[in-house]
Amino acid sequence: MKAQTVSLTIVAFLIGVLAAGGIGVRVIREVRTDDVTRSLPGSSITAPTYPSSGYFVDPDETLIASTAVIPLSVRQDGSSLSIRYDLVSRSPIAGMPDTGPFLLPSKWVLRIGSTMIEGGPADPDTRVALFDLPQGARAAEIDVVEIINPLAAYPLNVFFGLSETNPRVEIIDGVSIELLRVSEEGANTIVHIRIDVGDPAIPMIWIEGAGPGWRPAVREAGRLRVDLTWVGGDLPETIRLRAHGTQWIEIEGRYRVSIGKFG
């Protein structure tokens, strides 16, 4: 076989491989797209993996549910150490208002040698974890930083009743609704309600009447108080209400936070 024929044979072989390969890649993509979007029997679902980059938002992220905790800085001032962080949600939000906070890493622990130091943010809007270090300890000596049992926000919807004999009801852990008083304004009856929440996690909660006879509620600006207007005649002995908004739920687990780059 001449050299020219050999060359042609090699080129032809490669053309065959490439042509079939091009078609094959499309076939595989189609098949695997079908696998993901239309054929999802539960038993076939496997534990997902990180992107090939190894992270979703930031190389130093700690993923809690679908929210990334990203350390931004570590600062020591005497024995006071602060870790400033950001929260970035990976939940789909197209067409919806992007609100927050949706994650509250309320309890942090760092370890220096055998010493454990607890810390945490003061409230959901403060994205700074504060620690009081032992005398002489330095940030560079920190071995481990962890978030313990963080709180995540989920929708709330609870129906409940209040009355003069039962004026206070705990609707969820740490959140109680209290009947303050009932007043008359013309033909209407005003029911004054107070939302009593635990510290520091203050969820977003609205109260409204349940069933006919109620006008939309008015929440007093800046206060956890709500005035409800009843126009349904005599006020029932048990006032049926509905609480909705968000609530904090604890997600059990220890989540290690990487602050190595600030060392």
Partner 1 sequence: MSDPSLQEPSRSRSQDDASDVIPWGAPVAATILGALLMASFVIFSVVTGPGEAGTVPTALPATAQQATGFPDGYAAVTGTVAFRADVIKAGSDRVIIFVSSAVIGGRDPASVTLPEVAAWSLRVPGDEAGMVHQYAAVGVPGSVTIEFDQMLLPDSVVLNAILPGTVEHVTDRVLLPGSLPGTLSSYTITVGDHTIVIDELVIGDTWGSIRWHLEGGIAAKVEVVVTLDGTTDPTVLTSSHAAPLDAPIGSPLPPLWNTRGQALLAPTGQALSESSAPTGITVEFFVSVVTEPGVSVEVPVVSVVAP
**Shortest separation between residue 199's beta carbon and partner 1, angstroms:** 19
Q: Does 12 bind partner 1 (CB under 8 A)?
A: yes
- CA distances 212 to 15, 165, 231, 261, Å, are 75, 23, 9, 59
**Shortest separation between residue 259's beta carbon and partner 1, angstroms:** 21
The amino acid at 201:
A
**Shortest separation between residue 125's beta carbon and partner 1, angstroms:** 13
Whether residue 256 contacts residue 62, with contact meaning beta carbons closer than 8 Å, is answered with: yes
When the beta carbons of 70 and 142 are compared against partner 1, the nearer one is 70
Q: Does 135 bind partner 1 (CB under 8 A)?
A: no
Strands 80-89, 128-132: parallel, antiparallel or unpaired by DSSP?
antiparallel
> Two tokens at 215?
């006008």
**Shortest separation between residue 188's beta carbon and partner 1, angstroms:** 11
Whether residue 155 contacts residue 102, with contact meaning beta carbons closer than 8 Å, is answered with: no
- How many residues bind to partner 1 according to rule CB under 8 A? 85
> Two tokens at 233?
């005649």
- Among positions 36-65, residues that touch partner 1 (CB under 8 A) are 36-43, 45, 47-53, 56, 63, 65
- Among positions 152-171, residues that touch partner 1 (CB under 8 A) are 152-157
Long-range contacts at 215-223 (CB < 8 A, ≥ 24 apart): 215/188
**Shortest separation between residue 132's beta carbon and partner 1, angstroms:** 31
Q: Which stretch binds partner 1 (CB under 8 A): 86-94, 125-133, 176-184, 191-199?
A: 86-94
Number of DSSP helices (H) and strands (E) in the chain, helices first: 1, 17
Q: What are phi and psi for residue 215, nearest 5 degrees?
A: -85, 165
Q: Which of 77, 98, 234, 237 binds partner 1 (CB under 8 A)?
A: 98
Q: Does 221 bind partner 1 (CB under 8 A)?
A: no
